[in-house]
């Protein structure tokens, strides 16, 4: 049975704190700062709100940048945990191929089928 070393403990603590911090930052940015400015169905009023509350919009954008940075830290910590747990997976060419294909499918998507060519 493998023992947990100090680097794994540190990576787990960083991942946990960063995950909670990222969630708090995005909730504040979206719901506390931007949501009051948006008027559903009225783009002109929303634009007026954004222009009249520029500091609030800038703080929200700063929250989004901090969220992006915290996600990078979170992914680095989780990668550090994954490498220590299963180091052979990240060295195999098949794993690299699977990662590339999964991101390609994520961004490109599967081709849509026409109603004529769809299976019954």
Interval 50-71: pLDDT, tens: 999 999 999 999 999 999 999 9
Predicted TM-score (pTM) of this structure: 0.67
Burial zone of 63 (CB within 10 Å; 0-12 exposed, 13-18 middle, 19+ buried): buried
Residues 6 or more apart from 25 whose CB is under 8 A from it?
A: 63, 66, 67, 70
> Mean pLDDT, to the nearest integer, of 93-100?
75
Mean pLDDT is lowest, of 30-34, 48-52, 72-76, 109-113, for: 109-113
Has residue 89 got a pLDDT over 90?
A: no
Q: Is 29 within 8 Å of 64 (Cβ atoms)?
A: yes
Average pLDDT, rounded, for the chain = 84
pLDDT at 1: 45
């Amino acid at each position: 049975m493998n023992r947990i070393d100090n680097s794994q403990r540190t990576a787990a603590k960083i991942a946990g704190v960063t995950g909670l911090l990222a969630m708090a930052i995005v909730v504040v940015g979206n719901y506390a700062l931007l949501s009051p400015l948006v008027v559903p169905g009225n783009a002109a009023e929303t634009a007026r709100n954004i222009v009249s509350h520029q500091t609030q919009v800038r703080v929200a954008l700063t929250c989004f940048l901090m969220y992006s940075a915290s996600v990078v830290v979170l992914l680095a910590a989780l990668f550090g945990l994954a490498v220590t747990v299963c180091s052979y997976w990240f060295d195999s060419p098949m794993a690299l191929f699977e990662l590339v294909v999964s991101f390609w499918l994520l961004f490109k998507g599967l081709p849509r089928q026409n109603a004529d060519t769809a299976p019954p």
